[in-house]
Homo-oligomer: A and B are copies of this chain.
Amino acid sequence: MISEKMRPFLANNSAIRMMFEEGRQMAALYGADKVYDFSLGNPNVPAPEKVNQAIKDILDEEDPVYVHGYMSNAGYPQVRAAIAENLNKRYGTAFAEKNLIMTVGAGSGLNVALKTVLDPGDEVITFAPYFLEYRAYVTNYDGVLVTVDPDESTFQINQDGFRAKISAKTKAVIINNPNNPTGVVYSEETIRALASILEEKQKEYGHAIYLISDEPYRELVYDGAAVPFVTNYYANTMVVYSYSKSLSLPGERIGYVLIPDELEDSATTIDAATIANRISGCVNAPSLIQLAVGRCVDCQADLAFYDRNRKLLYEGLTDLGFACIRPQGAFYLWVKVPEAGSTCGEDVETGADSVCGADGGAGADSEGCAAADGAVGGTGIGNAEDAAAKKKAAEAAFVAAAKKYHILAVPGSSFACPGYVRLAYCVSHETIVNSLPEFKKLAAEFSL
């Protein structure tokens, strides 16, 4: 008697549980240090010491009724003001306290943003490969997720593909920058092109199209890469942020939604989003950690740790002959499956929906492995279907082969883009060092 809407999620959930079970069993069988688990985006870097000190100081200095009590549904005023000031300093913006709504992490932030603007049947566009949970979030409000195939040469945004998918029903667009799972940072050129298409289409259809920029990895960038701050390029932008990665606080569920004054009907939208935060049942972002974050707006996690891992894994794998996208952000390496079939780019050329853009399973998972049960149907796309099946088979074979060497990777299908695997390098450095000889055996098996 559970809700019909929940049923499709249950099947996928069993698959996820199986994978977790498998990892646990492998660790028990071979020893945790002999298992190279690159499947989880759970930071291995501890939160900066300043965060824990701030928590203790707050407990010592402040009235517990205040520290653990209700505050405004949008959050503590001084915390929001501190974040606004920090952003203004870094991005030349002019945000005030009122533009920020503290949320239960970016997951709730995305839900707040979507609940605020979506009517049933509204379309939300995102770009494959993408975090499959987006589909669940959009479905929560009876919206329809529409996906755009990637430009597999760069994994920047496929602008032509994007333009083709916008319709009168498009209410919002979700981007994730720096990107999970590819590690790509969208360039200023990419954001400008995206904004230009959005401006054009807003005029054409006569209504706002909101750009929701999901940025939990904003500070995790390397090689001097810069992440464009999207409100500076497009007025109808909401930025969703989380301290999960930048301060290594994923379990604490603390983040925000930023709604700038430039957004259409900004004051009403801010009010509505604040109410959405309340009536979702969250009520407000957790109080103690919210206060602590307010004292640590200038802190960040140990970037050098990730950068060292990134270089070793990227260089190690490319030396072995694997084709990888060089990551400039986040903590993921996106590796092409050897012997994978035709690329998504080729599918794009046929004009058919490629697997990368096809519907993932109705379910999704947090750090996922729900298979992309392609909804590619209709006539005349037999080749695309064949290519898709071939890719998925190659991907499954590669993931299975990796397991023989105790390497756990998330298949690209979990991000609606088969033919790749994602390796999360937010693990200990030793895990990477020790995994390389195993990757060498895996490479040999695939004749690299």
Q: Which residues of A contact B (CB under 8 A)?
A: 1-6, 9-10, 13, 40, 42-47, 51-52, 55-56, 59, 63-65, 67-71, 73, 104-105, 107-112, 115-119, 133, 136-137, 140-141, 171, 207-208, 248-254, 264-265, 268-269, 271-272, 274-276, 278-290, 363-367
Bound-state CA distance A112–B110 (Å) is: 17
The residues of B that contact A171 with a CB separation of less than 8 Å are: 1
Q: B253, A104: Cβ atoms under 8 Å?
A: yes
Does A47 lie within 8 Å of B68, measured CB to CB?
A: yes
Interface centre among A112, A137, A274, A281 (most CB of B within 10 A): A281
Q: How far is the CB of A219 from chain B (nearest CB, A)?
A: 16
Identify 8 new A-B residue pairs, CB closer than 8 A, beyond the known A2-B116, A43-B65, A104-B281: A1-B265, A46-B68, A47-B64, A52-B59, A56-B56, A136-B279, A251-B288, A253-B287
Q: Is the CB of B9 within 8 A of A279?
A: yes
A243 to chain B, nearest CB (A): 9
Of B4, B59, B105, which is within 8 A of A283 by CB? B105
- Contact pick for A253, options B45, B111, B283, CB 8 Å: B283
Q: Is the CB of B272 within 8 A of A2?
A: yes
CB atoms of B104 and A70 under 8 A apart: no
Q: Does A104 lie within 8 Å of B282, measured CB to CB?
A: yes
**Ordered nearest first, which 4 A-B pairs have the shortest CB separation?**
A251-B287, A107-B281, A111-B281, A46-B64
CB-CB under 8 A from A282, the residues of chain B are 104-105, 107-108, 253, 282
Inter-chain contact B55/A69, CB cutoff 8 Å: no
What are the residues of chain B within 8 A of A283 when measuring CB–CB? 105, 107, 253, 366
Residues on the B chain within 8 Å of A279, using CB: 9, 133, 136-137, 140, 364
> Which residues does chain B contribute within 8 Å of A274, judged by CB atoms?
13
Chain B, Cβ-Cβ closest to A136: B279
A363 and B45 CA atoms in complex are apart in Å by: 43
Q: How far is the CB of A437 from chain B (nearest CB, A)?
A: 26
Residues of B within 8 A of A43 (CB): 65, 69
On whether the beta carbons of A6 and B275 are closer than 8 Å, the reply is yes
**A-B contact list, 14 entries, CB within 8 Å:** A1-B264, A5-B119, A10-B275, A42-B65, A46-B68, A56-B56, A56-B59, A64-B248, A65-B248, A70-B366, A71-B251, A108-B280, A140-B279, A251-B290
Contacts A3-B118, A10-B268, A366-B73 known; A251 to B284 CB distance under 8 Å?
yes
Q: How far is the CA of A363 from the CA of B107 in the complex (A)?
A: 24
CA–CA, A329 and B104, complex, Å:
30
- A339 CA / B114 CA spacing, docked (Å): 47
CA distance A47 to B71 in the complex (A): 16
Q: Which residue of B lies closest to A46 (CB)?
A: B64
Taking each of A65, A141, A279, which has the highest tally of chain B beta carbons within 10 Å of its own beta carbon? A279
Residues of B contacting A59 in the complex (Cβ-Cβ under 8 angstroms): 52, 55-56
Give the residue of B55, B133, B141, B252 whose beta carbon is less than 8 angstroms from that of A286: B252
List of B residues within 8 angstroms of A140 by Cβ: 279-280
Q: A64-B248, A248-B65 are in contact. Are A105 and B2 (CB under 8 A)?
A: no
Question: Which of chain B's residues has its CB closest to A247's CB?
Answer: B68
From residue A88, how far is it (CB to closest CB) to chain B in Å?
Answer: 26
Decide yes or no: A52 and B69 within 8 Å by CB, A9-B272, A281-B104 being known contacts.
no
Complex CA gap A279/B363 in Å reads 9
- How far apart are the CA atoms of A290 and B119 in the complex, in Å? 35
Q: Do residues A3 and B272 form an inter-chain contact, with CB atoms below 8 A?
A: yes
Contacts of A268 in B (CB 8 A): 2, 10
Report the bound CA distance from A43 to B68 in whole Å.
10
A3 touching B111 in the complex, CB below 8 Å, given contacts A10-B268, A69-B42 = no
Minimum C-beta distance from A281 to chain B (A): 4
Q: Which residues of B contact A280 (CB under 8 A)?
A: 107-108, 111, 140, 280-281
Chain B residues near A276: list those with CB within 8 A: 6
Residues of the B chain whose Cβ atoms lie less than 8 Å from the Cβ of A271 = 10, 13
| A260 CB to nearest B CB, Å | 15
Residue of B nearest to A250 (CB): B70
A268 to B280, CA, bound (A): 23
